[in-house]
Structure 1
Amino acid sequence: MEKVTNNAYKAHCLVLSYPTQGHLNPMLEFSRRLEHKGVKVTLVTTRSMSKTIHKEASSIALETISDGFDEGGIAHAESIQAYLERFWQVGSQTLAELLEKLSSSGNPVDCMVYDAFLPWALDVAKKFGLVGAVFFTQSCAVHNIYYHVNKGLLKLPLSEAEILLPGLPPVQPQDMPSFIYDLITYPAVTDMLVSQFSNVDKADWVLCNTLYELEPEVVDWMTEIWPLRTIGPTIPSMFLDKRIKDDKDYGFCIFKPNSDACMKWLNNHPKGSVIYVSFGSLATLNAEQMEELAWGLRMSNSYFLWVVRASEKAKLPKNFVEETSEKGLVVHWCPQLEVLTHEAVGCFVTHCGWNSTLEALSLGVPMVAVPQWTDQPTNAKYIIDVWKIGLKATADEKGLVKREAIENCIREIMEGKRGKEIVKNAYKWKTLAKEAVDQGGSSDKNIQEFVTKLVHS
């Protein structure tokens, strides 16, 4: 579709994201899909988040609301609980003010797509008579687990050795999201994740960043309860169906990537020879785990490109960068999609965040799973046992993933028999991911249905 002029838009949708990179990216990509189908989109994040991101030129308008901590967001709150309560109070008020501003400036909003982490946004949407669509940024499997806790159907603390839930394979407690398995460390986060379902029954739509083919059983089960539609993977179009020509990257990033250095380095290495290592924008490893990972890479004797955020660099073993410069490149941040697409990359050592998982799966890259917390253990379970596109570097009884485990997984994927099967499976999922968002694919049809009903509502 050609670019639409302002007065030719079919409807106006406000898209509200929770203020982290991992939530903003998929919601921005969904916004681009909507815009491509003729919907005007205003993307909304917090004032504190907007100050930290590098924004590239985009036809999608960016507006902000307040979380009550405009100078520093959650880092300035005394606790997670205090932040979430203040965000609810101030966010509701400033969101209502934004809706009024847009209405009085001749751009009234018809629909609000809101992040599931912010259920109070639906109450604001309904006060203004808007269509309300909740957007789940994690997998359907993970949300099914939280739903069962919310309804009291899955009792905490977990007491069974194996947990059976509809639509899911049998899972052990350690395969569950960390906030369900460990109730002590972040009780406020557990409450927030479970309360995503507090008013979901009042939403007009439930949108999930996955593709039907990836989780058919759980999607079918959840669709019996809600008007759920899969709309993913939310990855820039030029890496999938290539129908949105200027959609080459996410367009927002907290960290400036070392793009030239990464790509030049990769260009000098043979096909499938490089291990790419990244633990995303939030996960932190302790110094002992960092050392084991460093030695695992070294012992694998493979080339590696390792993303170590500036805040984490002090944890690297002494002289590691210098001593491994023949084999490896360590950078603060890199353009992950471009790296994963590069033919030199043969394997991705990942924390299994949902965005990274979808990116690797959509680009056909085998994974070594080293899950840390939140939804990552559940994603790892699916990567290994359901989609069969990776191996898990298993932690010991102290929770430490030893160097030998990392080395063995890398060698198996790069050189072993199982590695060949994993590469074959990865290619299959790459094809299915592209088909889902291409014209007439499962996710494309769902987005089209959402737009059609929005226009005629």
Structure 2
Amino acid sequence: MSQPSLPTRDSHVAVLAFPFGTHAAPLLAVTRRLASASPSTVFSFFNTTKSNASLFSSSDDEADRPTNIRVHNIPDGVLEGYVFTGRPQEVIELFLDAAPDHFRREIAVAETEVGLKMKCMLTDAFFWFAADMATEMKASWVAFWTGGPNSLTAHLYTDLIRETINIKEVDERMEESLGFISGMEKIRVRDAPEGVVFGELDSVFANMLHKMGLVLPLATAVFINSFEELDPTLTNNLRSKFKRYLNIGPLALLSQRETIVHYPNGCLAWIEKRSPASVAYISFGTVMTPPPGELAAIAEGLESSKVPFVWSLKEKDMVQLPKGFLDRTRDQGIVVPWAPQVELLKHEATGVFVTHCGWNSVLESVSGGVPMICRPFFGDQRLNGRAVEVVWEIGMTITNGVFTKDGFEKCLDRVLVQDDGKKMKGNVKKLKELAHEAVYAKGTSVENFKVLLDAVVNI
């Protein structure tokens, strides 16, 4: 990967990306903004070869990169000839075991190339070991939590939750509130991410997040892709726990790169012909896909309801659709292997987003003013779905947690037609307005970004 020539430089920042899921892309987006705002700072971006290849997939991506961002590949921790055992999260475990040494080695290379020691480590919050690395390097540590404030709170208060909800009794206490934590009054034990108080408490992921929650208060700053007005109580709680807690989003509203381009698949041309607030947009992110029975139920519910739809579904999963579904619904909807999500959620014709409730998706739906039908799978998705349904009242969770034809039809009717849905639409419209205010002029996220910039480059 070609490197730009070095600009005039007065400081050097190490950016450490987590190369799985949708973590690296938002960290790169923030790094781009910081680099543009501080052209005399060199940002060395460390990520695995595979993840970097997906982030910088074309010459356009490289050409758009600010000249003071230098990209470095680090090994993924999988040794040549390694035979996978099939353990869940094995690839993540291998990466995390090797990451501290790989990061140290490549940081030393970058410092030699640039001729400046690192003054700041800007990392994914998952990297609890960055606290020790920053101390060794006499650098500051600034951490990016890519989820929402509710999941960050759950991991920060893991020990308190475990002390209050006896792990041996957790099955009987699933419906109890986490109201002993400010801002979590409407969140139940069952909504917590796996590894906090139930599930595999000693898994690689659970241990990583527990360690993270213990060391994050040491960071110079913790920032998040959200806006203060979305959850003021949690914002105030988290401010009390960190030296600096900064909401700088929604990032989807702040992208400096032009996003209105020619998209394949014809989604935007198709949706232009639909009535306002009539279309169901369906997507479950890049990691999860509902099981075959639920994919069939979604298809049957759509066909029976006659609701217009755009469905983003990987090509390999399209074989699970009922026979003849695509032909029978040709005039009703469109199924594509990829869709421009942010653009679709901004479009006035989109009336509901059927989602897994990953944080980026939830925030993009809020930013577009679109209510949600939630089908969470794992991690923070249940927490986010619960907040959508009972905290912000801007959507609903699918009946009994899984798609059935009749259940999905009822959800579509409730959100798109019934008075309940009109209330959801009104609530999400108010949040949309607050989100847009946060990122314009002297909005809270704009002001917080200035504080973040100062924490990263003015050490």
Q: TM-score range, shorter-chain basis?
A: 0.7 to 0.9
Q: In the alignment, what sits opposite 1:408?
A: 410
Query: Aligned partners of 1:441, 1:72: CA distance in 2, in Å?
Result: 52
Contact 2:158 / 2:213 at 8 angstroms: preserved in 1?
A: no
Query: Aligned partners of 2:213, 2:221: CA distance in 1, in Å?
Result: 13
| Post-superposition offset of 1:81 | 5.9
Note if 1:97 corresponds to 2:105.
yes
Q: In the alignment, what sits opposite 2:120?
A: 111
Contact 1:95 / 1:124 at 8 angstroms: preserved in 2?
A: no
Query: Aligned partners of 2:249, 2:79: CA distance in 1, in Å?
Result: 31
Q: 1:319 aligns with which of 315, 324, 333?
A: 324
| Post-superposition offset of 1:130 | 1.5
Q: In the alignment, what sits opposite 1:446?
A: 448
Residue-pair matches, total = 439
Change beyond 3 A, Cα 1:305–1:186: farther
Change beyond 3 A, Cα 1:80–1:10: farther
After superposition, what is the alpha-carbon deviation per residue over 1:39-92, rounded to whole angstroms, capped at 9, x for unaligned?
54333221232344535232243322222128899x957434654443234211
| Post-superposition offset of 1:306 | 0.5
Q: In the alignment, what sits opposite 2:296?
A: 291
Identify the range of structure 1 (376-385 vs 203-212) with the bigger mean alpha-carbon deviation: 203-212
Q: In the alignment, what sits opposite 1:271?
A: 276
Change beyond 3 A, Cα 1:101–1:352: same
Structure 1: which amino acid aligns with 2:70? A
Structure 2: which amino acid aligns with 1:162? E
What secondary structure sits across from 1:14 in the alignment? Answer: strand
Contact 1:37 / 1:448 at 8 angstroms: preserved in 2?
A: no
Segments of 4+ in structure 1 off by > 6 A?
70-73
Structure 1: which amino acid aligns with 2:186? P
| Post-superposition offset of 1:13 | 2.7
Note if 1:133 corresponds to 2:136.
no
Contact 2:13 / 2:44 at 8 angstroms: preserved in 1?
A: yes
Alignment of 1:50-449 (within 5 A): 50-53=52-55, 54-55=57-58, 56-57=61-62, 58-59=65-66, 60-69=69-78, 78-80=86-88, 82-106=90-114, 108=116, 109-150=118-159, 152-155=162-165, 156=167, 158=170, 159-160=172-173, 161-163=175-177, 164=179, 165-180=181-196, 182-184=198-200, 187-236=203-252, 240=253, 244=256, 246=257, 248=259, 259-395=264-400, 399-449=401-451
Structure 1: which amino acid aligns with 2:259? K
Query: Aligned partners of 1:455, 1:241: CA distance in 2, in Å?
Result: 20
Structure 1: which amino acid aligns with 2:406? E
Query: Aligned partners of 1:231, 1:247: CA distance in 2, in Å?
Result: 23
What secondary structure sits across from 2:22 in the alignment? Answer: helix
Contact 1:308 / 1:332 at 8 angstroms: preserved in 2?
A: yes
After superposition, what is the alpha-carbon deviation per residue over 1:212-246, rounded to whole angstroms, capped at 9, x for unaligned?
1112112211221212423332424xxx367x3x3
Query: Aligned partners of 1:13, 1:292: CA distance in 2, in Å?
Result: 49
| Post-superposition offset of 1:433 | 1.2
Query: Aligned partners of 2:329, 2:305: CA distance in 1, in Å?
Result: 12
Structure 2: which amino acid aligns with 1:50? N
Change beyond 3 A, Cα 1:81–1:415: closer
What secondary structure sits across from 1:199 in the alignment? Answer: helix
| Structure 2 alignment gaps of length 5 or more | none
Identify the range of structure 1 (308-317 vs 336-345) with the bigger mean alpha-carbon deviation: 308-317
What secondary structure sits across from 1:280 in the alignment? Answer: coil
Q: In the alignment, what sits opposite 1:254?
A: none
Contact 1:233 / 1:362 at 8 angstroms: preserved in 2?
A: no
Contact 2:6 / 2:114 at 8 angstroms: preserved in 1?
A: no
| Post-superposition offset of 1:361 | 0.5
What secondary structure sits across from 2:442 in the alignment? Answer: coil
| Post-superposition offset of 1:412 | 2.0
Contact 1:46 / 1:70 at 8 angstroms: preserved in 2?
A: no
Query: Aligned partners of 1:130, 1:28: CA distance in 2, in Å?
Result: 20
- CA RMSD across the alignment: 2.9
What secondary structure sits across from 1:343 in the alignment? Answer: coil
| Post-superposition offset of 1:340 | 1.2
Structure 2: which amino acid aligns with 1:87? F
Structure 1: which amino acid aligns with 2:34? L
Query: Aligned partners of 1:207, 1:40: CA distance in 2, in Å?
Result: 20
Query: Aligned partners of 1:335, 1:268: CA distance in 2, in Å?
Result: 17
Change beyond 3 A, Cα 1:361–1:271: same
| Post-superposition offset of 1:124 | 2.2
| Post-superposition offset of 1:258 | 6.0
What secondary structure sits across from 1:132 in the alignment? Answer: strand
Q: In the alignment, what sits opposite 2:34?
A: 34
Contact 2:294 / 2:403 at 8 angstroms: preserved in 1?
A: yes
Structure 2: which amino acid aligns with 1:30? V
Query: Aligned partners of 1:354, 1:172: CA distance in 2, in Å?
Result: 18
Q: Percent identity?
A: 27
Change beyond 3 A, Cα 1:147–1:301: same
Contact 2:238 / 2:245 at 8 angstroms: preserved in 1?
A: no
| Post-superposition offset of 1:331 | 0.7
